[in-house]
Each structure stands twice: as C-alpha cells, then as structure tokens.
Amino acid sequence: MKAFAALYRRLDATTSTNRKVAAMADYFERTPAADAIWAISFLIGRRPRRVVPTRQLMAWAGARAEVPEWLFEASYDVVGDLAETITLLLPPPTRVSDRPLHVWVSRELLPLKDMALEARQQAILDAWDRMDVAQRFVWNKLITGGFRVGVSRRLVVRALARLSGIDAAVITHRLMGDWTPTADTYRRLLAADTTDADTSRPYPFFLASPLEQPPEALGSRDDWQVEWKWDGIRGQVIQRREQIFIWSRGEELVTDKYPELAAAAAALPDGTVLDGEILPWRNGRPLPFGALQRRIGRKSVGRKLLKEVPVAFLAYDLLECGGRDRRSDALAQRREAMARLLDRAADDRLVLSPTIDAPDWKTLATRHAESRRRGVEGFVLKRLSSPYGVGRRRGDWWKWKIDPLTVDAVLIYAQRGHGRRAGLYTDYTFAVRQGEGLVPFAKAYSGLSDAEIREVDRFIQRNTRERFGPVRAVRPELVFEIAFEGIRASTRHKSGVAVRFPRILRWRRDKTVAAADTLDALQALLTTPGHEPGS
Amino acid sequence: MKPLVQATPSGLFCPPGDFYIDPLRPVNRAVITHAHADHARAGSTSYLCAREGMALLQARLGPDARIETLAYGEKTTRQGVGLSLHPAGHIRGSAQVRIEHRGYVTVVSGDYKTAADPTCTPLDPQRCNTFISESTFGLPIFKWPAADSIMASIEDWWRENRDQGRTSILFAYALGKAQRILAGLDPDGGPILCHGAVARINRIYRGAGVHLPETIHVDDIQDKALWRSALVIAPPSADHPAWMRRFPQRSRAFASGWMRIRGHRRRRAVDRGFIISDHSDWEGLMATVAASGAESIGVTHGYRAEMVRWLQEQGYEAEALDTVDRTGDEER
C-alpha cells in the first residue's frame, strides 16, 4: 500500500500527462501482479462502494482527533474534501504497516462491508493507526468511495501499453466488462497473443469542429450533408461473428446498458460497424436528455426503466460493411450503403439519421431556428465527398450550434468550492429581479477565469451579509450573464422554472442590479421556442 | 472597565495611550508589529517598532518615514500607558505589543510562530490579562511538520531536478520566508539564485549579521548552464510567463502553510508544495494562548469565528476583533 500511496502522490503532484504515464509505467514495472491489478482497478475508476456513511466516518474521526462536530465541519468546509479532512485531523499513527496493496484490499477493505457496525468502526480506527498520511488519504478515498486521481482509463492504458508493447486498443478491450482483480487477470491483460481483441475493436471517432464563420463560407450548399445535432451519447454499434458490441465515445463498452439496441443490432449482417448517437426515443422523437441520464448511471437495466426510457440508435455513418473498412469511401457512398443496410434490418430502434432538405443556406438558417423546439443542439454539416477521419480535424465536419439562452442575473449566495477550488468561494447562486426583491433561479460554478474567481472571492469576503452554515448571503451588487441550454416550468423551484446546464457567460461589470433581468423576462423564455420537448 | 485595545475602522486602537497598532489608514502614532505590507502601511506621522526590525520597516516605508525603535523588552510610556515590544518569532524584527495601564496588561500578538527560525529572535510569550492573537491558521487541520524534514524534502526535490537538468523554482514570500529557507539550505547543494525582491531583503538580513548562504541575483547570471542545476527563490508574484520563460526546463514549488491543503496546491498548479509557514499552527496558537495566562482572548484575522468558539468551549472569554480583511495576507 505504501508504493500505491506513493504512486498516488506522484500522479497528484503533476498536471503533465506524460509524467503521469511515466509514473504509472514505473509503478507497474516494479509492482507484483497481485498488487498491480488492484491498482489498475482503482485507477480506471472501478472503485469500491462506500462502506461507511459519511456522518459516521466524520463522527469516528472527530472523536479520534478530539475535535467537536462543528469544528470538523468548519475544517471540512475549508479543505473541501472529506477523506483529506480526516487525514489532516487524525493524530499520528502509532505503527506503520508494510502490507502490500492486495493484502490491504482483501483482508481489510473488502471485509468491511459485511461487518457489524461496531466491528467496522474498530477496523477503521485500527487501520488509521497503522498508516502514514499518504496511505491514510488513499485509504480514506477508498472507503468513502471517492477514489479519483485525475488519470483517465486512457492514460492507464497508455502506461500499460508502453510497459508491455501491446497495442493500446487491445488493452482497452481486455479491461472491459467484468473481471476479478487477480494476478492471473494481470498476466492475461498483458499477454502477447492479441487475436482475442480484434472482434470487438471500435474505430476512433471522427469529431465535428465548431463552425465559427457563416455557413455560406463553406461554399456550395450542394456539397454538404446536413443533419440535426442530436443530444445523446455518441457510440458505435459493432456486429462481428455473431457478437454485438456497443461502445460509447468514452471508450466504454456499454452493450449491457442498452439491451434493446443489442437485440436490434443482431439483425445487422456480419462485419458491420455503425457510428451514431444513442438517444432516449419514443414515437419518432427524442425524450429530454435527463431521461437518458437515468439509463447512463445503471449497470443493469430493469424492465420498468426499459419501458419508461426506451432508446434508439440514430445512425450517422457506416464504418465497416461486410467486414471491410469503408472509412476512405466518400460519405455519400457510405450513407447510401448504410440506408440499404438499415432498410433491410427494418428495426425501429436503428434509425437512419435524417438529413435536412433545404435548397440553400438561407433556407437552412430558417430550419436551424427550429432546433430548440425539436430538442436538438443545431446542425452537423458534413462534406459529401469526405472520408471518415480520426479525431477533431477541421475542414470536413462542422457543428453549427444554437446560441444558448441568456439572462443577466445577480449574485446573491456563495459557497466554497471543492478540489482545486477548495477554500475559494466559487459556487454561486444567481437571482433575477421581482418587484423590489430578488428570486434565486440557478446555481453556476463555471465560466469565470481564475483571476475573476479570486476577485469575486474577495468581494464575497468583504460583502457577506449573513451566513447560513457554509453558505454566505452577499450584498447583491455583481451582475453576470448566465447562459443555459434549456428551460422548463418547475413547481420545485421558487422561480417557477428550472434551467439546464447553467453557466456564467461573462461578468457584466457594466451593469447594476437595477439593470438585471426580471423574473417575467425569464419566464417569458418558457413560451418562446425555448423549452425542451416533452417536459 | 473599557478595553485597553479596541477594534476601529483604522485598526486596533489604544484609547488611553492614543496609538494604533498596525493601522489600516494613516494615523498620528503607529506601533508596527512587523514590516509585512498588510501590517506596515505608509502615511502615518510617526512609527514605533522593534529595533531588530528597523531597517526592514524603513525599507518598506521609505526614507522619509519617522521611525522610533525599542529594544525587545525595553519599556516606554505613552500618556501614562506602559508600552514594550517582545519577540514574536514571525520574521526578523517582529514583535508582540505589551500594553500596561493601571495594573492591567493587554498583549497584541501581531503575527507569530512557535517554530524555530534561525533568522530571527524566537517568540517570547508574555503573561497578560487580555491576549489578542492572530488566527491565520486557526483550525486543527493545520499542523506543521518538523522544519528539518521539510528542508530535507526541498533539498531532495532540488537534487532530483538537478539530475534531470531542470531548474528548481521555489516561490516563497520575499520577506522572512525566503531568508528562513535560505538559512536552512546546504550551501554546497548548487547555485542559489534569487529574484530581485528577495535579493533586496537578503541584503538587509545580511547587514544585520544573519548568516545566509551565498546567493546570486538572477539578472547577474551570465553562464546559462548554471540555471539547470540552480535553485531559484522568487516571490509568488514572479510566477508569470514573462519572468519564467528564461527557465525553459523547470519544476515549480511553493512554500506556504496553505500547502497543507491539497486543493490549494493544485490550484497553484505547482509540482510540489512545501508546508512551511511563519505563522503558528493550531497547536502553536493554543499553546501560546495558554502560556499568556490571559482570561480574555481577542482573535484577529484568519479563522476568527472558529477559534473564538473553540476558546469559549475551553472556558476562555473570547471575542472576534474585526480588523483586517484577508486580502493582503502575506501567506496567500
């Protein structure tokens, strides 16, 4: 566990991905398989469930550190991280253990969940007493279920690929699905024979770049295919050798999460790969994205959820057909082949992504204005003659997004942030005017520069009117332009509306509170083509 | 009885003695605890500070400032109020202000630390009736590791960088922190370079007889090969591209008590954070409060509310004194 804690420190101490990869490769090289596999398991985010309720953990740590509850909370507020707060407050250990990681996990961590409360408390106090600060922090992250260290699965894979010389895609594939972290698994992970991985391997996704010029600059309308920009999960559906694989863009194998798509894909001919979007879908139109979020979080999907949030795959492109890589063909040809394929499959869960017929750019702009009402984010423009590229290469694919909705709102509450923003006031609540008063309508955390955050933090420190626990009510004076993607009526909010993905667009230093928008103006957005469909 | 020291918009004020301590605005008579910018502000008619800190204060306020000094422990009176300055151990010349009036003693701590520091006289706790303490790190999460273990890890980091051909850039406050670190460094570890702001203060420290290892002003370096093995000490304000680009291969670190918190270190986006502070940690604050023997405690800047509540729960009479905003805090 010492070596793993040291790795955590090294990863945490640098923002350079190269140094992170080097630190991991170095660790894997020197670590026995039984430990390395647990490290991989934690690093790629297969973290154990939280075994102790936060409240209890706080109480135990507080008692051990002889710190009353309120002082623990005040400390937590400043540190911004529970595992770290506990680590910093506990008295030094009486003895430090040299147990390897896999022994800690199998003998100490995993048994916790089946223990009676008192035994669990004893085990945790005892563990704290045998660890130095670095180990404690990692341990606390593990038992609170919050283990994260700023490396992606991709970086872990890169480190393993560098160490073993095996192709990253093969390792990615081998890390998918269910596996038990044993020394054997580790050996299989780095085995030299790679035929196992070829069947499921997806292609790298091609991504559209934001359109920053008028579409007319793209030349003739006739050279372009125009599709709606759907707001779902980008994915690839693969049918090879009677096996179905569904990958999300995050390189995650999600086949089991979308059984209805897997069933539909079975009707595709052998050796087919489709690129498209997974969408919550009913009666030929999308449900709000929030519905899909209910499915994203689930490992297994119950019958009820399948019925409430059915999904469809909007097919954008055909990457492989009859086992042949079609990516260098022109888009027009690929699309034609795909249309035939989907026609034969005849399954309403595999939908050919519709193209927009409009004779010229001007007419297209009119159609573009329908986006919000349709629950899409605008258009994607693809050059009909283009091959399917890799990554975000400018030129052939463009996303023409709709502008977000905006209002000018007043900062009224602030709370300290977490992680990198711990200790600074970065979590804000914004209000609009109503008569003489102000009504809160949204919280936003992002959009300001670091320098602006520090300036707002200073303002908050000097202009606090009241404190409610960690929340400060501040003098309403600063006005910000708040952007959001959608708005709907809500009985659960004081303002009567709920907005989607609010963020700070800019600080309106030129505006006073009197010039901020009113609740009427905000609610008026409900009736313009502003609200999400189906909500 | 009226308190001997009150919080006013101009800072802590002693009405019977008619003087301010570390005033926020220009006043007639200012008593200065130490020469950091958030405590020593220009514009007052006359200043009083500890003799050990005279040169530093003059450098801060300019040659025209009228400054009187007292040796540590030396007594004077102001309108019948006894006044003396006692070592606070924060930086060179830092002082606690002891005020005695009709047998009642109030001590204003200024900033102080209990940990050892080879560059200044150590803290000398004073018995008093009312103790007014700072609380910059007034939460139990702040516990300082032993200074020599931190110095050892600074040298390890420097060595590692040197082996990789990287310049080690250590950000530390130019007055006090930088010299304390310098004094603890192995002079044979390689070239030590200082930013101009640090070099200026070094001169004053050396002039006062404080032993610091040999340092080179960054601008005086001719041989660029030296950079790769050098440790550079610079104020945090130097952490911008225009100044940093002269060191193409570099590792950045920050020396501050705030480095105890991971989020602070990550926000600075430095490679290393060294927990070294010229303030007291929680235990140091509590030990000093106890050593004062005071029954009444005032708490200034920092985690005032938290420290007041804790002291009250321990049976002290305690209140928060609203004096300084935190924006000028040397540690930030």
Q: What confidence tens digit (pLDDT) does each residue in B152-185 have? A: 999 999 999 999 899 999 999 999 999 999 999 9
All residues at 6 or more sequence positions from A338 whose CB lies less than 8 Å from its CB, including other chains: A274, A315, A317, A318, A352
Q: Is A307 a catalytic residue?
A: no
pLDDT value at position B35? Answer: 97
Quote the mean pLDDT of chain A.
Answer: 89
Quick check: is B80 in a domain?
yes
Query: Which stretches of chain B drop beneath a pLDDT of 50?
Result: 325-332
Closest-CA residue of A relative to B327 is: A458
Q: Is residue B45 part of a domain?
A: yes
Number of structural domains found in chain B: 2
Predicted pLDDT at A212: 86
The confidence score (pLDDT) of residue A301 equals 82
Q: Where are the beta strands (DSSP E) in A292-436?
A: 311-321, 324-325, 350-352, 378-383, 397-401, 405-416, 425-434
Confidence (pLDDT) at A239: 95
Q: What is the pLDDT of residue A535?
A: 33
B314 located within any domain = yes
Which of A421, A148, A46, B258 has the alpha carbon at shortest distance from A140?
Answer: A148
Distance from the B62 Cα atom to the nearest Cα atom in chain A, whole angstroms: 29
Q: Please list, in sequence order, all residues whose beta carbon lies within 8 angstroms of the beta carbon of residue A139, skipping any fewer than 6 positions away.
A: A1, A104, A109, A127, A128, A131
Domains and CATH numbers, chain A: 2-143 (1.10.3260.10), 209-401 (3.30.470.30), 405-527 (2.40.50.140)
Reported ipTM: the value is 0.92
What residues of chain B lie within 8 A of the CB of A420, using their CB?
A: 263, 266-267
The alpha-carbon gap from B301 to the nearest alpha carbon of chain A, in Å, equals 12
Q: Does B327 touch chain A (CB under 8 A)?
A: yes
Separation of alpha carbons B27 and B6, rounded Å: 15
Give the mean pLDDT of A285-304: 80
List residues of A whose CB lies inside 8 A of any B CB.
12-15, 65, 67-68, 70-71, 74-75, 78-81, 84-85, 88-89, 418-424, 450, 458, 461-462
Residues B312 and B230 in one domain: no
User: Are B266 and B313 found together in one domain?
Assistant: no
Q: What is the pLDDT of residue A530?
A: 36
| Best residue of A88, A136, A463 to probe chain B, by most B CBs closer than 10 Å | A88
CA distances from A236 to A12, A325, B27 (A): 33, 14, 73
Among the partner residues B266, B303, B310, nearest to A420 by beta-carbon distance:
B266
| A65 contact residues in B (CB cutoff 8 A) | 140
Q: Is residue B25 part of a domain?
A: yes
pLDDT > 70 in chain A, percent: 96
Measured between beta carbons, the chain B residues lying within 8 angstroms of A62 are none
Q: A196 or A400, which is more confident?
A: A400
Q: Chain A neighbours among B 281-310 (CB < 8 Å)?
A: 303, 306, 309-310
CA B178, CA B198: separation in Å to the nearest integer?
Answer: 7
| Facing residue for B271 by CB, picked from A14, A79, A89 | A14
B272 interaction partners in chain A (CB closer than 8 Å):
13
The residue-averaged pLDDT of A520-532 equals 67
pLDDT tens-digit readout, B295-307: 999 999 889 999 9
How close, in Å, is residue A249 to chain B by CA atoms? 28
Q: Cβ separation of B141 and A423 shorter than 8 Å?
A: no
Smallest CA–CA separation between B60 and chain A, in Å?
25
Percentage of the residues of chain A whose pLDDT score is greater than 90: 59
- Domain-embedded: residue B215: yes
Quick check: B103 contacting A, CB < 8 Å?
A: no
Contact check, Cβ <8 Å, A89/B140: yes
Is residue B156 domain-shared with residue B230, that is, in the same domain? yes
Same-domain status, B268 and B299:
no
**CB of B240 within 8 A of CB of B139?**
no
DSSP 8-state symbol, B138? -
The pLDDT of residue A532: 41
Q: Which domain holds residue B240?
A: 147-274
pLDDT of residue A528 exceeding 60: no
B262/A74 Cβ within 8 A: no
In a shared domain, residues B324 and B251: no
Which one-letter DSSP state was computed for residue A107? I
**Domain containing residue B175: CATH number:** 3.40.50.10710
Interface contact flag, A75 B271, Cβ < 8 Å = no
